[in-house]
Amino acid sequence: MLFWPKGESDMAKIKFYAVRVGRKPGIYRSWADCQAQIDHYSGAQYKSFPNREAAEAFLAGSTAATRPVQRKQPKTTKPEASAVTADIIVYTDGGNRNTGNVQGGQVKPTDRSAWAFQMSAAGKTITGTSGEWGATNNRMEIMALLQALNYLLETKQAARPILVIMDSKYVLNAIQKGWLTGWKKRGWRGAGDQPLANSELWKMIDVELSQFTSLSFKWVKGHATTAGNNLVDQLLNQTMDHMVQGQPIPATNATAKLPGRPATTVQGDLFATTTAKPKPSKPVNASQSPAQPKKTTATPDKLGHFTSSAAQQASVEAMAEIAKNWQDESHR
């Protein structure tokens, strides 16, 4: 959303403050309005520009050399520079909290795991995240990419130039070094005809990748100075913070329809990946009228995640409208 104050006539003094990562990303015309979006906001990313075009390019992911707004920060963050020209910039990340296990050991069923993505274009920013119990870090990295690609397909963005940035060399190598092609040729088996972990997700990734016309990938170091990477890491950690055993897992823009995983008492009603066992119904007395279902209203949790299927569909439709606006604005 763009914000334009009224009564500006001196064009020579106009400045445009672009907030790419903050409380409310957008373009502001005063430092006070900009400062309200970035003060005490971890990983805030913003700059001032002499014209609107440069500010919009910054929001869309361009990193042309400009003098940044000066502000003291405990840690400097920077946008990811890239020679690739893209209309949409996507960051993905996955992680898990492997509690008490040695490195390389098995993940416990009670360990929290989550994924997240962020995509930006034409000044708009969209995020998605959810989680699973007892999933590996690699599975969550794959899931983050899978969900991001699926969301782009659902919102009809496959024909636009897209750059995906991540810190997982495992996922990038599978795509860029031909591992995915080899697995597919071997009937989705790993090297030495070994079982391929998360093969059901890789099959979906393979189908989705084939539908994009201009998709590029780039690696960045995790937990460093790339603001977009730090933001999705923060988002997935917030999701894990809000995971409660036996309760629905927070989810937003998790549009991919995934193969089911075995339900457990820990997972409960796991959104989009787990089918909980139905409870046996009590016998109904013939003289009694059937109980009427209670009407419920879907409400978001503290993170703004919706857990009902109706609310999820409403979120997808709303985001599809935003994505349409992306495309309309980019052709003006």
Q: Which tokens belong to 147?
A: 């969900």
- pTM (two decimals): 0.58
Q: Residue 27: which residues within 8 A CB-CB, separation 6 or more?
A: 2, 3, 16, 17, 18, 19, 52, 55, 56, 59, 123
Asked if residue 77 lies in contact with residue 226, where contact means CB atoms within 8 angstroms, the answer is: yes
Q: Residue 324: which residues within 8 A CB-CB, separation 6 or more?
A: 155, 156
Statement: residue 148 has pLDDT above 90: yes
Q: What does the pLDDT read at residue 118?
A: 95
What's the whole-number mean pLDDT along residues 186-215? 93
Asked if residue 243 lies in contact with residue 133, where contact means CB atoms within 8 angstroms, the answer is: yes
Instruction: Walk across the sheet containing 88-96 and list its strands.
Output: 124-133, 112-121, 88-96, 162-166, 215-219
Q: What does the pLDDT read at residue 244?
A: 94
What gap in Å lies between CA 23 and CA 31, rounded to an integer?
Answer: 15
Per cent of the chain over pLDDT 90 is 39
Q: Residue 6: which residues within 8 A CB-CB, separation 6 or more?
A: none
Per-residue pLDDT tens digits for 215-248: 999 998 887 778 888 899 999 999 999 999 989 9
